[in-house]
Amino acid sequence: MPLKISARGQGTRGNASAARRERAGRKLDLSKRLVSLDDVPLIDDWLPEFDVGERHDVAVPLEPELALELALGTPAAPDRFVRALISARGMVARDETIEGFFAAHRFVVLDRSSTEWVAGAVGAVWRPRGGLVRLDDAEAWRAANVPGTIRGAVDFRAEAIPGGSRLTTETRVKAMDERARRRFRLYWL
């Protein structure tokens, strides 16, 4: 079965909560459909408002739990090109899985379920080696407000669709101040 791949970019100054409320307002008819909290991505609990975001998804012929497990277990640097990019940034853990790679680079797991995984980091990612702040846990991430940095969250989730799952990865970034916002936008080009 061929895989269908699509990518969707979220514009700047995203507000997931407002967009979700708008969609819910158009579709909500309690006589026909109950709205489930499972329809709301976990990343919305951690970074609902953001300056920059990006989302990619792919349909896979797997159950959601297995799709997420395999995605997080995928090598972070599966080929020479990606290894070279990671090396150029001075990053380590090139031989790790995606999940291990994030952990090795000061990301903390913010939330996890059988079909979704959210991690976050705080730092000046435009600096060599990422300039990431050491955080102990998810609450430290939520409380961090370091001038000149960004707060970033990455989400991997798998949702059941006919014939398998839709595997989605989403990245969101919120700058702590205007200076960090300008520097991050130059970096994110």
| pLDDT at position 1 over 50 | no
The answer to whether the pTM exceeds 0.85 is no
Cross-sheet strand order for the sheet of 108-112: 5-10, 52-60, 164-175, 150-161, 116-123, 108-112
Higher per-residue pLDDT: 41 or 128: 41
Joined tokens for residue 37: 């909290």
pLDDT tens digit string along 78-90? 888 888 887 777 7
pLDDT at 68: 96
Tell me the C-alpha distance between 74 and 68, whole Å: 10
pLDDT score recorded for residue 104: 85
Residues 6+ apart with CB under 8 A from 129: 89, 90, 91
Residue 2 scores a pLDDT above 60: no
Residue % of the chain over a pLDDT of 70: 77
Q: What is the pLDDT of residue 129?
A: 66
Q: Distance (Å, rounded) from C-alpha 153 to C-alpha 123?
A: 12
Higher-confidence residue of 178 and 94: namely: 178
For residue 124, pLDDT over 60 is answered with: yes
Name the residue with higher pLDDT: 13 or 188: 188
pLDDT tens-digit map of 7-43: 344 433 454 444 444 444 433 333 334 444 456 899 9
pLDDT value, residue 38:
57
CA distance 156 to 171: 9
pLDDT confidence of residue 43: 94
Among 44-48, 50-54, 124-128, the range scoring the smallest mean pLDDT is 124-128
Q: Closest Cα to residue 151, out of 170, 172, 135? A: 172
